[in-house]
Amino acid sequence: MDPLLVPLVRDLLEWIDKSPRTYSEVMDGWRTSCPRLPVWEECTDRGLVARNGRRVELTARGRTFLQSR
């Protein structure tokens, strides 16, 4: 993972973990962040988050990522 994205990935995962989020909320909430799409893509490509219907949830891998750093 690009070291520049690590803090942003962590921020996104922590934000999703605080409360159930819909895909729309995630996209709206990260709209103001220039690197939104690379961060979202990094999270999905690495299996850190998954869409479950309309909701976005952390995967076991995403939880491990948060705990390990």
Range of the domain at 11: 6-68
pLDDT tens digits, one per residue of 5-60: 899 899 999 999 999 899 999 988 776 555 556 788 889 999 999 999 999 999 99
Q: Tokens representing 3?
A: 């070291």
Question: Which pLDDT belongs to residue 59?
Answer: 97
pTM confidence score: 0.84
CATH code, 12: 1.10.10.10
Question: How many structural domains are present in the chain?
Answer: 1
Cα separation, 38 vs 9, whole angstroms: 9
Burial class of residue 58 in the structure, from the number of CB atoms within 10 Å of its CB (0-12 exposed, 13-18 middle, 19+ buried): buried
Question: Which pLDDT belongs to residue 47?
Answer: 97
The answer to whether the CB of 22 falls within 8 A of the CB of 54 is yes
Inside any domain, residue 1: no
